[in-house]
Structure 1
Amino acid sequence: MADSFSKKENFKKKLQKQKEKAQRREERKTNNDKGKEVEFMYVDSYGRLTSTPPEERIEVDINNIQLGAAPIEAEETLKKGIVTFLSDKGFGFITEDNNKENVFFHGNNADQPLKKGNRVSFEKEKSPKGFSAVNITLIK
């Protein structure tokens, strides 16, 4: 059986498309820049990206590098303040003298009953909800 004219034309078009596709593929392979002239980046001792290779860098003693947050300097342990609020349930707030910051306290942490306006000395302790005052003593 003989092929019709349209079948022959469609076959020719299909072959032509395949040749064009193969030609484009070859052009991409020859013009490909992958892997050529790659600029390398290095990580320096401070964790920053740099183009300087490690041989040319100044070495830092890794034993002296501290990871994480900077340590908190030792503060004076005994703070002073005034009781500014006291509830019927036994808790209240002390306003520190040096930075006017309010610190929560509970009456169980005091050595004697407190009243509003009393001058006290205390220690600050980190609690889940912030700082709280412990070891509260009345200043006379």
Structure 2
Amino acid sequence: MSNPHKGRTGLDRILRATGYSMAGLRAAYTGESAFRQEVWLMVVATPAAFWLGRNWVEVALLLGSLLLLLIVELLNSGIEAAIDRISFELHELSKRAKDIASAAVFLALLLCAGIWGAALWQRLLT
């Protein structure tokens, strides 16, 4: 049995995939307040990364940590949406899936805070 939606190839596939990705970003921005907050954090922090980083590697690390946070938040939102699509009924496996996805966001936030904190420490105290 083949998927009737998987028959596209070449440029048509790329264009449609890009459209689906843009729709996903719009849906996350309009429907997920945490994602919206993190997008604005990235907008505000991007100029700070160029001031804080002393070379392209440091700037890339600072901006990469923020981008990773957005990626993990998108995955978390996708997991939550899939769980909610199945059922709003309280279930231990649904709770576990949502808690694990939330923990991934928490770890990404810690990583981001650690990288930015270390960069600030280096810039301001050395």
What range is the shorter-chain TM-score in? under 0.3
Question: Would you tell me which structure has more helix in proportion to its own residues?
Answer: 2
TM-score (norm 1): 0.23
Q: Which has the higher strand share?
A: 1
Structure with higher Rg: it is 1
Greater relative CO, 1 or 2 (CA 8 Å, sep 6+): 2
